[in-house]
Amino acid sequence: DTAVSQTPKYLVTQMGNDKSIKCEQNLGHDTMYWYKQDSKKFLKIMFSYNNKELIINETVPNRFSPKSPDKAHLNLHINSLELGDSAVYFCASSRQESYEQYFGPGTRLTVT
């Protein structure tokens, strides 16, 4: 049973394209997150949603737009992709006020 799943696992696309990454959790958590891991393995939070409401937006360009249709899903849409967007994107979830975050397997995005 997959707790936090992401699709696709790999995404290769050209500059200027628009793409989406999907995330689903079956843990019944009410908080979901997107993190970005760059080529130097540094992890940084991008967004956090609680009960479908945006809570954290860490100075991410407007080209990135998260969407949470329900508590179990948090999708990430990226417009006008740039070379610098190449990274591994991790989705995570947690219970409200809980300390542990469960991570998805990551999506490796490569922009050419």
Partner 1 sequence: AQKITQTQPGMFVQEKEAVTLDCTYDTSDPSYGLFWYKQPSSGEMIFLIYQGSYDQQNATEGRYSLNFQKARKSANLVISASQLGDSAMYFCAMRELNYGGATNKLIFGTGTLLAVQP
Residues 63-102 that bind partner 1 (CB under 8 A): 88, 90, 92, 94, 96-97, 99-102
Stretch in the footprint of partner 1 (CB under 8 A) among 12-20, 28-36, 61-69, 79-87: 28-36
DSSP assignment string, 75-94: EEEE-S--GGG-EEEEEEEE
Burial of 64 (0-12, 13-18, 19+ CB in 10 A): middle
Least CB distance to partner 1 at residue 85 (A) = 18
Q: Which of 45, 64, 72, 86 binds partner 1 (CB under 8 A)?
A: 45
User: Closer CB to partner 1, residue 10 or residue 20?
Assistant: 10
Stretch in the footprint of partner 1 (CB under 8 A) among 20-28, 32-40, 65-73, 75-83: 32-40
Main-chain phi, psi angles of 83, to 5 degrees: -55, -35
> What tokens appear for 7 in the block?
């699709």
